[in-house]
């Protein structure tokens, strides 16, 4: 293959795109709409996952100390907590701090606290757990272990959350994965099939090219380029429509996030490859190679 | 060692589709510069034979030799090179409908990788010869059947092939246009290109005095002597062909058969 042929192949691709604009637009719309379902699904998943992880990030283990525990033992507890696997940060909350934050929470009703003779709240450690360790069993294990320690009165964590929430989240992710897989596969199917139909429609032209002595590469490359471009434009179309939907819904639901630019780039690249690959495999059949 | 004077050689060729034999033990040779009619009813195996010659398909047994290409030993990826040495035309023209006349012909040259200047020169020249230069920017669907076939012929000869295969090239055309196309094929043949034309219409070709191979049920039932180039030149000098063509040109559409 010489330079001239490469140039002709590029000309060929451009010509094909120019002359077949109508058919290309239809293919792109079909692909774009099926990809739109995929990106809507992705966006919803990302936002729900964001809410879940934010909620679980805020989970803390509270280690309440015995009343009047000596400073040495208290310090000891702090160090032991810090030395535990999966613990990210241990913050001391004195009973005074706890009370003032409690009264803040009560707001206008905080005057009822004035009725108290003395602060009923204990000193405590608030333990933040590394995100990888946010699991029911881990919290449970920590709680059981730490409750045995000298100077610890009680360990509390969002047991309720784990009892119900964790199952719910697991269920959500499983369903989500399953649905996602179906939508993803149908997207892949629609793209490769649309590209295949394009080629089926062009079989006559392919036969003519073969007849006049075009090499397989000469015939194939323009179609592969066309497939890739269809994939790119269709994915951009889907992303654009998603952006419109996003702007619209974010008026009603506050705090939802859009796909990150990296994710969009990956998505577009993936669709380009899918289009090219669909085109390439379909061509292989026609060219009998 | 092959006979250098031959452009197409078919030896003990058979082709079967399942149990059905489309061609049985075919032997035929076409010399450089020869004009051969391949005549037989529909289903006799003419198209199959031509397809095996331009190697769109391969024989069940036997061998096809076209120039230096041998069906039994050649690699599949050299088929495009063979196609550039063989011009092919069909009843249904097989033009790209979304390309102009010029682009259709240029395509055949572009695939070989020749320069754009050479392509422009050659396409212009051929289009002038087939009388369609003024239609170079038209798209095939806007042309008449005869014009489309002339474009197809122009495309087929763009790379100056050694042989032109024609599969019922006049099947879709009226008698006057049919004669025009035949004349054009004779003209191309006179330029030195061998022509192998398949047709079911014996009456059409009987009058020209060319070699006729009769094909029936996948077998050659009659073949007149092969004519080597030397003889052919003589024949052209005798201008039997050109006289015939001349007379045809004057002939009107009475549908009368010449004997």
- Please indicate whether, in this complex, the C-beta atoms of B94 and A207 are within 8 angstroms of each other: yes
- Please indicate whether, in this complex, the C-beta atoms of B110 and A211 are within 8 angstroms of each other: no
Residue B88: pLDDT above 90? Answer: yes
The helix or strand, by DSSP H or E, that contains position B87, with its residue range, turns out to be strand B86-90
Q: Tell me the pLDDT of chain A averaged across its residues.
A: 84
**Percentage with pLDDT > 90 across chain A:** 14
- The position carrying tokens 């002038």 is B128
Residue B259: pLDDT above 60? Answer: no
Contact call for residues A28 and A237 (beta carbons, < 8 A):
yes
Which of the residue ranges B61-75, B135-149, B239-253 would you say has the lowest mean pLDDT?
B239-253
CB pairs under 8 A between A and B: 62
Looking at the complex, report in whole angstroms how far the Cα of residue B76 sits from the nearest Cα belonging to chain A.
9
- Specify the pLDDT at position A199: 81
Mean pLDDT of A208-218: 89
Tokens of B4: 């250098």
**Is A23 at the interface with chain B, CB within 8 A?**
no
Other Cβ atoms closer than 10 A to B199: 23
- Kindly report the pTM of this predicted structure: 0.70
- Specify the pLDDT at position A48: 84
**Is B229 at the interface with chain A, CB within 8 A?**
no
Which one, of A238, A253, A264, A261, lies nearest residue A48 by Cα? A253
Which of A212, A216, A284 should one mutate to test binding to chain B, selecting the residue with the greatest count of B CBs within 10 A? A212
Which of chain B's residues have a Cβ under 8 Å away from the Cβ of A208? 94-96, 107
**Is A286 at the interface with chain B, CB within 8 A?**
no
pLDDT class of B132 with cuts at 50, 70, 90:
very high
Looking at the complex, report in whole angstroms how far the Cα of residue A167 sits from the nearest Cα belonging to chain B.
60
Which of A6, A24, A211, A216 should one mutate to test binding to chain B, selecting the residue with the greatest count of B CBs within 10 A? A211
Phi, psi of A263 (to 5 degrees): -65, -40
- Please indicate whether, in this complex, the C-beta atoms of A8 and B113 are within 8 angstroms of each other: yes
pLDDT class of B71 with cuts at 50, 70, 90:
very high
Sheet containing B61-66: give its strands across. B20-31, B6-17, B61-66, B69-70
- Specify the pLDDT at position B254: 42
Which one, of A34, A33, A32, A55, lies nearest residue A172 by Cα? A55
Domains of chain A plus CATH, in order, are: 3-54+166-287 (no CATH), 60-157 (3.30.70.3040)
DSSP state for residue B77 in the 8-state scheme: G
Tokens of B158: 């763009």
Residue A69: pLDDT above 70? Answer: yes
Judged on CB neighbours under 10 Å (0-12, 13-18, 19+), B46 is buried
Tell me the per-residue pLDDT of B237-258, one tens digit each, with 9 for 90 and over: 554 555 555 555 555 444 444 4
Which of chain B's residues have a Cβ under 8 Å away from the Cβ of A211? 54, 83, 88, 94
Residue B53: pLDDT above 80? Answer: yes
Residue A72: pLDDT above 90? Answer: no
Which range in A273-287, B87-101, B208-222 is most confidently predicted, on average pLDDT? B87-101
Which of B74, B77, B111, B163 should one mutate to test binding to chain A, selecting the residue with the greatest count of A CBs within 10 A? B111
- Please indicate whether, in this complex, the C-beta atoms of A213 and B94 are within 8 angstroms of each other: no
**Is A208 at the interface with chain B, CB within 8 A?**
yes
Residue B230: pLDDT above 80? Answer: no
Within B56-144, residue ranges assigned H as helices are 79-85, 101-110, 116-129
Looking at the complex, report in whole angstroms how far the Cα of residue A4 sits from the nearest Cα belonging to chain B.
6
- Please indicate whether, in this complex, the C-beta atoms of B77 and A208 are within 8 angstroms of each other: no
Which of the residue ranges A220-224, A263-267, B184-188 would you say has the lowest mean pLDDT?
A220-224
Q: Tell me the pLDDT of chain B averaged across its residues.
A: 86
Mean pLDDT of B2-8: 76
CA atoms within 13 A on the CB side of A31: 33
pLDDT class of A79 with cuts at 50, 70, 90:
confident
Which of chain B's residues have a Cβ under 8 Å away from the Cβ of A11? 110
Which of B86, B107, B115, B153 should one mutate to test binding to chain A, selecting the residue with the greatest count of A CBs within 10 A? B107
Residue A64: pLDDT above 90? Answer: no
β-pairing, B61-66 vs B6-17, is antiparallel
pLDDT class of B62 with cuts at 50, 70, 90:
very high
Mean pLDDT of A8-32: 84
- Specify the pLDDT at position A45: 85
- Specify the pLDDT at position B228: 53
Higher pLDDT, B136 or A259: B136
- Please indicate whether, in this complex, the C-beta atoms of B99 and A15 are within 8 angstroms of each other: yes
Residue of A nearest to B100 (CA): A19
**Is B95 at the interface with chain A, CB within 8 A?**
yes
- Report helix, strand or coil for A29: helix
Which of chain A's residues have a Cβ under 8 Å away from the Cβ of B79? 210
Tokens of A213: 């002595």
Residue of B nearest to A218 (CA): B111
- Specify the pLDDT at position B238: 53
* Predicted interface score ipTM higher than 0.90: no
Residue among B103, B115, B155 minimizing CB distance to A4: B115
pLDDT class of B35 with cuts at 50, 70, 90:
very high
pLDDT class of B125 with cuts at 50, 70, 90:
very high
- Specify the pLDDT at position B2: 52
Which of chain B's residues have a Cβ under 8 Å away from the Cβ of A21? none
């Amino acid at each position: 293959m010489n330079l001239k042929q490469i140039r002709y192949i590029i000309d060929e691709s451009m010509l094909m795109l120019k002359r077949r604009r109508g058919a290309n637009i239809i293919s792109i719309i079909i692909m774009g709409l099926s990809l739109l379902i995929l990106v809507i699904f992705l966006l919803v998943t990302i936002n729900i996952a964001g809410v879940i992880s934010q909620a679980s990030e805020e989970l803390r283990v509270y280690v309440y100390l015995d009343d009047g525990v000596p400073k040495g033992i208290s310090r000891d507890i702090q160090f032991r907590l810090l030395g535990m696997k999966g613990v990210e940060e241990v913050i001391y909350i004195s009973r005074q701090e706890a009370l003032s934050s409690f009264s803040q929470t009560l707001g206008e009703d905080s005057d009822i606290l004035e009725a108290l003779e003395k602060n009923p709240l204990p000193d405590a450690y608030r333990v933040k757990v590394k995100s990888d360790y946010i699991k029911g069993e881990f919290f449970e294990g920590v709680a059981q272990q730490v409750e045995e320690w000298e100077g610890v009165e009680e360990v509390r964590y969002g047991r309720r959350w784990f009892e119900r929430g964790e199952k719910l989240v697991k269920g959500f992710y499983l369903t989500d994965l399953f649905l996602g897989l179906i939508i993803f596969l149908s997207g892949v199917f629609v793209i490769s099939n649309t590209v295949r139909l394009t080629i089926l429609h062009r079989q006559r032209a392919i036969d003519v090219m073969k007849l006049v002595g075009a090499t397989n590469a000469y015939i194939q490359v323009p179609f592969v380029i066309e497939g890739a471009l269809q994939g790119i434009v269709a994915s951009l179309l889907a992303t654009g429509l998603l952006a419109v939907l996003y702007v619209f819904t974010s008026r009603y639901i506050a705090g939802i996030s859009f796909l990150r630019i990296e994710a969009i780039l990956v998505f577009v690249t993936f669709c380009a490859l899918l289009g090219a690959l669909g085109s390439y495999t379909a061509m292989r059949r026609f060219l009998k190679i | 060692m092959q006979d250098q004077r031959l452009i197409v050689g078919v030896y003990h060729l058979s082709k079967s589709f399942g149990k059905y034999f489309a061609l049985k033990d075919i032997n035929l040779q076409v010399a450089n510069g020869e004009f051969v009619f391949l005549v037989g009813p529909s289903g006799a195996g003419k198209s199959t034979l031509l397809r095996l010659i331009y190697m769109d398909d391969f024989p069940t047994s036997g061998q096809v030799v076209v120039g230096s290409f041998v069906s039994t030993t050649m690699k599949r990826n050299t088929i495009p090179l063979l196609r550039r040495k063989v011009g092919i035309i069909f009843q249904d023209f097989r033009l790209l409908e979304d390309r102009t006349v010029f682009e259709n012909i240029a395509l055949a040259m572009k695939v070989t990788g020749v320069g754009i200047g050479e392509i422009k020169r050659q396409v212009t020249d051929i289009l002038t010869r087939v009388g369609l230069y003024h239609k170079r920017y038209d798209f095939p669907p806007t042309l008449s059947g005869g014009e489309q076939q002339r474009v197809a012929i122009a495309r087929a000869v763009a790379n100056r092939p050694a042989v032109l295969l024609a599969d019922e090239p006049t099947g879709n055309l009226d008698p006057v246009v049919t004669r025009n196309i035949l004349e054009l094929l004779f003209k191309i043949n006179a330029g030195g290109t061998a022509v192998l034309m398949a047709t079911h219409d014996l009456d059409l070709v009987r009058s020209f005095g060319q070699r006729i191979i009769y094909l029936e049920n996948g077998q050659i039932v009659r073949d007149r002597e092969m004519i080597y180039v030397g003889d052919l030149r003589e024949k052209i000098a005798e201008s039997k062909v050109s006289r015939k063509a001349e007379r045809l040109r004057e002939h009107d559409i009475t549908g009368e058969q010449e004997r």
